[in-house]
Amino acid sequence: MAHAYDSARQQFADWGVDTEAALAALAAIPISMHCWQGDDVKGFERKSGTAGGGIQATGNHPGRARNVAELRADMEFAYAQIPGKHRLNLHAFYMDTDESPDRDAIEYRHFAPWVEWAKSRGLGLDFNPTFFAHPKADDNLTLSHPDAGIRDFWVEHGKRSREIAAQMGAALGSPVVNNVWVPDGSKDTPVDRMAARRRLEASLDAMMATPLPKTQMRDAVESKLFGIGVESCTVGSHEFYLGYAIRRGIILCLDMGHFHPTENVADKLSSVALSVDELLLHVSRPVRWDSDHVVLLNDDLLAMAQELVFADLLGRTHIGLDFFDATISRTAAWVIGTRNMQKALLRALLLPQARLKAAEEALDYTTRLILTEEAKDLPFAAVWEEFCARADVPTGAALLARLATYQTSVAQRG
């Protein structure tokens, strides 16, 4: 295998690409792996039913994590198959406590065991207030609800989430991205979109009124096009949050499943990055709708990674995952999806960027096309193999065997 890498290294060098630099750059990119893939977005409050809010995991594959211990075991297994040091993206309804605090009563101590666990494994944490799977979200309205009492309840949840995120960040010495997504919307055509959006803006302002140190936490907001049950209007649309993030100087989250299916989400990065300092990605795969399939190493993912690398956005983009498939092994889903994100980044890092940009600058589109097409034949796989070998994680048949063995070990869960 070392021979395959040596040969690949030379081939890339012939194109002016330094594989060692690419491997070092890839090793420095953390991916925030989402806890909710492990249990089909159910959470551990012991109160909630289905996720609601238009998000839904479909399937009944055996092995769903039923409690915190199982979820942690599954994640530990998954991280061990993924090269590099990464992060855990935690949702508020995954609290680890014997208590049953309502959402407006959550405190840091309900999450402290997660922080200890993350610390012991060298993981960073990210956080999300949970504005769904709750009776006060049953109208598919939370921060924009016409009822001030319901809005206040969710504002309090959001405030507490920010404080918890800041304490997590302080404890871990790494800022926690606290991402706000609300399901608010309307099944049928509303007549006063403006009122709903004004209420959402006011609630967000109230929630984020207290500045918290950027070294501890960063605020992010996530837009959406539509969801099941809110087909006609989503209050927190892309335009709403793009403007809000710019006005408030906070992070804009782009979820790859939250746009029209024909939109190129990668194309948006360089546009929005001119107006916001930082971005959060929810890397996902919509199939006809926001279906949250496990991400493939497909054109959409490659384009996203190439934009991150070529537009020099890695330093100000937080890469998170957002998919949940209950028809396959949940641990395999994490491993496949996270590694695909890394593979896409590696491919982008291995492209002859300087030559491609020079050709484009010179309006030499023929050379640009020859380069992009010939580059597809370069031995990316050998460099990936080397990356995994150095991190002592399996590939190919060995990976398949490990994933299968673990799945067998969890399949008896009820």
Ligand X SMILES: C[C@H](O)[C@H](O)[C@@H](O)C(=O)CO
Annotated binding site for Mn(2+): 258, 290, 292
CA separation for the pair 44, 94 (Å, rounded) = 5
Q: Which is nearer to ligand X, 133 or 350 (CB)?
A: 133
Q: Give the pair of three-digit tokens for residue 204.
A: 């967000």
Task: Write down the least CB distance from residue 222 to Mn ion, Å.
Answer: 6
282 forms part of the interface with Mn ion (CB under 5 A): yes
SS3 content of the chain, % helix, strand, coil (to 5): 50, 15, 40
CA separation for the pair 249, 244 (Å, rounded) = 8
Q: Which is nearer to ligand X, 126 or 385 (CB)?
A: 126
**Residue span 104-143 as binding mask against ligand X, x where in contact by CB under 6 A, dash where not:** ------------------------x---------------
Q: Give the pair of three-digit tokens for residue 49.
A: 């039913």
Task: Write down the least CB distance from residue 290 to ligand X, Å.
Answer: 5
Give me the residue label for tokens 């007549």. Answer: 191
402 forms part of the interface with Mn ion (CB under 5 A): no
255 forms part of the interface with Mn ion (CB under 5 A): yes
Buried b (16+ CB within 10 A) or exposed e, 166-194: bbbbbbbebbbbbbbbbbbbbeeeeeebe
CA separation for the pair 33, 224 (Å, rounded) = 20
What is the gyration radius of the CA atoms in the chain, in angstroms? 22
42 forms part of the interface with ligand X (CB under 6 A): no
Q: Which is nearer to ligand X, 91 or 318 (CB)?
A: 91
319 forms part of the interface with ligand X (CB under 6 A): no
Footprint (CB under 6 A) of ligand X, residues 43-62? 55
Q: Which is nearer to ligand X, 16 or 59 (CB)?
A: 59
CA separation for the pair 248, 49 (Å, rounded) = 34
Residue with the shortest CB distance to ligand X: 181
**Residue span 253-282 as binding mask against ligand X, x where in contact by CB under 6 A, dash where not:** --x--------------------------x
Among 223, 206, 240, 324, which Cα is nearest to 279's? 223
322 forms part of the interface with ligand X (CB under 6 A): yes
Q: How far is CA 410 from the centre of its chain?
A: 25
Burial class (CB in 10 A: 0-12, 13-18, 19+), 274: exposed
**Residue span 22-41 as binding mask against ligand X, x where in contact by CB under 6 A, dash where not:** --------------x----x
Residues belonging to the active site: 181, 222, 224, 255, 258, 282, 290, 292, 322
Q: Among 126, 201, 222, 300, which residue sits at the site for ligand X (rule: CB under 6 A)?
A: 222
Footprint (CB under 6 A) of ligand X, residues 69-88? none
Q: What is the DSSP letter of 351?
A: S
CA separation for the pair 384, 374 (Å, rounded) = 19
290 forms part of the interface with ligand X (CB under 6 A): yes
Buried b (16+ CB within 10 A) or exposed e, 42-52: bbbbeebeebb
Three-state SS at 356: helix
Task: Write down the least CB distance from residue 240 to ligand X, Å.
Answer: 15
CA separation for the pair 343, 297 (Å, rounded) = 7
Q: Which is nearer to Mn ion, 157 or 282 (CB)?
A: 282
Residues of this chain that interact with ligand X (CB under 6 A) are 36, 41, 55, 91, 128, 181, 222, 224, 255, 282, 290, 322
Residues of this chain that interact with Mn ion (CB under 5 A) are 255, 282, 322
